[in-house]
Amino acid sequence: MENKENSTIITILNEMNQQIIQISENLSQKIDEVNENLNQKIDQVNENLNQKIDHNSANIIKILNTVSKMQEDINDLRDDVETVYSLEKDSRKQLKRLL
């Protein structure tokens, strides 16, 4: 009788061990799937960020070029204003002489 009980216990323990092994394999497989999904999402996020960085860099370059052109235009306008002021000043002098 004791052998039969021992055999039943061993069988139950073996079944439990098989179930633990199966659960462990399933868990490992699920972990691998989750890791793969996370890696794909991280790669996609990185790709999106790189695209945004590239887009923003291109926009920054456009803005810098625009600002540079505006600075040139402002310098040209400043020169024009100084020229007009000088001409106006000379005109006043000439008018004073004439009067």
The reported pLDDT for the residue numbered 5 is 81
pLDDT at 1: 65
Q: What is the pLDDT of residue 39?
A: 98
Q: Per residue in 18-31, is it b (16+ CB within 10 Å) or e — as a string?
A: eeeeeeeeeeeeee
pLDDT of residue 94: 87
For residues 2 and 9, what is the distance between their CA atoms, to the nearest angstrom? 10
Residue type, 9: I
Parts of the chain with a pLDDT under 70: 1
Q: How many residues does the chain have?
A: 99
